[in-house]
């Protein structure tokens, strides 16, 4: 984007000018003498702005602001909370293009994906509005005469949200909007790599809250590094921590939260596989694999990292995939360009991790069939643009067993469906999975208890691209949490069982006699 367009976009989103010293939330949270951190665009390396990371005093101010807001927000009836979320969704619709462009500039995903991420926020607002009238409990039959038993759900308080750079705003919205209609307030620590989109979201939401005479602390954010996440995880005043990121980070969060007997909702790493049967429609499978593997430059938790192929079609399939990858070289570039399909990795550390993994897999006996190069020259001066790699490998390679957040796709043959499913499940992670087959028995077997062990299992669509209506999350080292749709709202509330005695007697459960 031209400089004037960038400045106009920043102004629209409430960021005063390009290269500002940004403030988030209330000005009084920020103290003199605390350093500012520069934020550079993943797309072209330009300085987008600078932001002050919170210190201990600012963190305490944020927590206190959230707690005071909760006292007000929990008294608002749930359908009225839904109305506020509806207005937030409308405000996001109004700013979809600008916010999508900022996602692209800051994180590096192509503009269409940036727009898609904002659409996810809008969709979850719509979902949460309906949910605000459906926070159901149950009525149960009491064993005691003239007693009524039921359960109800109450808000928790401050929900801490720790989000990752790859989806700088959407995953926050999944948590924050559902938490809000449940009666909670939220405190958001965005990735230190992508805080400007968080600032923009807070500015958009701030207008809605002011119009409705509600405290800004209903939704708040605090910028900072891992130390802020550690504070939140250890803080008894934050009853639930929802954390998205690496398995390593999630284990640290889980340990800290469990020490204080708090609740954690974890959405961590994925090592997602697609099984391609001899009965597959390759006209569907190939595009799904390409998008799953190279979309967001392989930086989705649901990115396709392994393709497990029936050995009967393996050689011809491999040739097709390699040719497709070679054709993608001309579609790598600035993510704001309409013709670009693959933008950059987030930073040079991600590039180094990719190169280290490729070297490791070669040492283990893998063969790089295409890509893997770091691009140089005009348009690639940031050193973060790479050619997606296709590698022949074995599933038990150490390099294949780990999640490398980069566009590396491993091709692995199989001889029968049981072997394919065994290969797919034989990794520590358990997020997303898929099979391409026109054979009904294969698809049903894959979806049965004998099949995929992942939280998401798809037939004839890829591993990447979840709809907000379904609960999102996975098993094993993916953390076990569920966000977004279905009954995921229960994670943001506390369950209470109530028994009402409307008789003139006091019978005890289990027929116990305690006569006085």
Catalytic residue set: 267, 301
Helix (H, G, I), strand (E, B) or coil at 187: strand
Alpha carbon distances (Å) from 46 to 43, 50, 338, 377: 8, 12, 20, 17
Backbone angles phi, psi at 90, to 5 degrees: -65, -40
Tokens for 415?
A: 């001889």
Q: Cα(159)–Cα(217) distance, rounded to whole angstroms?
A: 12
State in Å, rounded, how far the first CA of the chain is from the last one: 82
Q: Who's near 29: CB < 8 A, 6+ residues apart? A: 54, 58, 61, 62, 222
Q: Cα(185)–Cα(155) distance, rounded to whole angstroms?
A: 9
Neighbours of 214 (CB within 10 A): 17
| DSSP structure class, residue 390 | E
Query: Count of residues for the chain?
Result: 516
For β-strands 475-476 and 429-430, DSSP reports them as antiparallel
Q: Cα(274)–Cα(307) distance, rounded to whole angstroms?
A: 5
| DSSP structure class, residue 34 | P
Q: What is the largest CA-CA distance in the chain?
A: 90
Q: Cα(408)–Cα(370) distance, rounded to whole angstroms?
A: 10
Tokens for 135?
A: 């926070």
Q: Cα(284)–Cα(311) distance, rounded to whole angstroms?
A: 19
Say if residues 66 and 217 touch (Cβ distance below 8 Å): yes
Say if residues 258 and 266 touch (Cβ distance below 8 Å): no
| DSSP structure class, residue 508 | P
For β-strands 483-484 and 471-472, DSSP reports them as antiparallel
Tokens for 365?
A: 């006996």
Tokens for 489?
A: 């709202």
> Which residue, chain included where needed, has tokens 């503009």?
111
Alpha carbon distances (Å) from 274 to 135, 183, 426, 428, 462: 36, 39, 13, 16, 7
- Neighbour order of strands in the sheet with 367-370: 367-370, 389-392, 408-414, 304-310, 272-276, 432-436, 456-459
Q: Cα(415)–Cα(424) distance, rounded to whole angstroms?
A: 13
């Amino acid at each position: 984007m031209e400089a004037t367009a960038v400045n106009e976009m920043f102004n629209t989103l409430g960021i005063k000018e390009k290269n500002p010293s940004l403030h988030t939330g209330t000005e009084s949270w920020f103290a003199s003498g605390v350093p500012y951190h520069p934020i550079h665009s993943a797309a072209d390396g330009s300085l987008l702005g600078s932001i002050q990371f919170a210190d201990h005093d600012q963190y305490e101010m944020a927590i206190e602001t959230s707690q005071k807001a909760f006292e007000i927000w929990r008294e608002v009836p749930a359908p009225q909370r839904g109305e506020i979320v509806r207005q937030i969704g409308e405000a996001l619709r109004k700013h979809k293009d600008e916010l999508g462009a900022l996602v692209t500039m800051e994180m590096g995903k192509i503009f269409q994906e940036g727009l898609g991420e904002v659409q996810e926020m809008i969709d979850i607002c719509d979902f949460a509005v309906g949910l605000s009238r459906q926070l159901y409990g149950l009525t149960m039959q009491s064993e005691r005469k003239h007693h009524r038993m039921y359960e109800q759900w109450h808000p928790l308080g401050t929900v801490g949200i720790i989000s990752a750079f790859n989806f700088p705003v959407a995953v926050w919205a999944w948590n924050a909007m559902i938490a809000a209609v449940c009666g909670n307030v939220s405190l958001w620590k965005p990735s230190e790599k992508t805080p400007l989109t968080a600032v923009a979201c807070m500015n958009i939401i701030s207008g809605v809250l002011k119009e409705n005479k509600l405290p800004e602390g209903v939704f708040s954010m605090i910028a900072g590094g891992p130390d802020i996440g550690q504070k939140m995880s250890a803080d008894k005043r934050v009853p639930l921590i929802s954390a998205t990121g690496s398995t390593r980070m999630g284990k640290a969060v889980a340990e800290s939260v469990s020490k204080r007997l708090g609740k954690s909702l974890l959405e961590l790493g994925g090592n997602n596989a697609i099984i391609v049967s001899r009965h597959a429609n390759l006209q569907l499978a190939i595009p799904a694999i390409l998008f799953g593997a190279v979309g967001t430059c392989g930086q989705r938790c649901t990115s396709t990292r392994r393709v497990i192929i029936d050995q009967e079609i393996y050689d011809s399939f491999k040739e097709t995939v390699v040719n497709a990858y070679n054709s993608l070289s001309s579609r790598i570039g600035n993510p704001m360009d309409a013709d670009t399909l693959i933008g950059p990795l987030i930073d040079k550390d991600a590039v180094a991790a990719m190169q280290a993994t490729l070297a490791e897999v070669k040492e283990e006996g893998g063969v790089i069939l295409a890509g893997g190069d770091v691009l140089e020259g005009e348009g690639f001066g940031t050193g973060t643009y790479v050619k997606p790699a296709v590698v022949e490998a074995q599933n038990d390679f150490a390099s294949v067993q780990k999640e490398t957040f980069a566009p590396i796709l491993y091709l692995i043959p199989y001889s029968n469906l049981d072997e394919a499913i065994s290969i797919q499940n034989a990794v520590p992670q358990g997020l997303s999975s898929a099979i391409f087959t026109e054979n009904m028995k294969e698809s049903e077997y894959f979806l049965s208890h004998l099949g995929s062990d992942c939280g998401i299992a798809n037939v004839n669509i890829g591993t990447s691209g979840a709809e907000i209506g379904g609960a999102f999350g996975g098993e094993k080292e993916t953390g076990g949490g569920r966000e977004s749709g279905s009954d995921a709202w229960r994670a943001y509330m506390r369950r209470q069982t109530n028994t009402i005695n409307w008789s003139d007697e006091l019978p005890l459960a289990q027929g116990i006699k305690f006569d006085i």
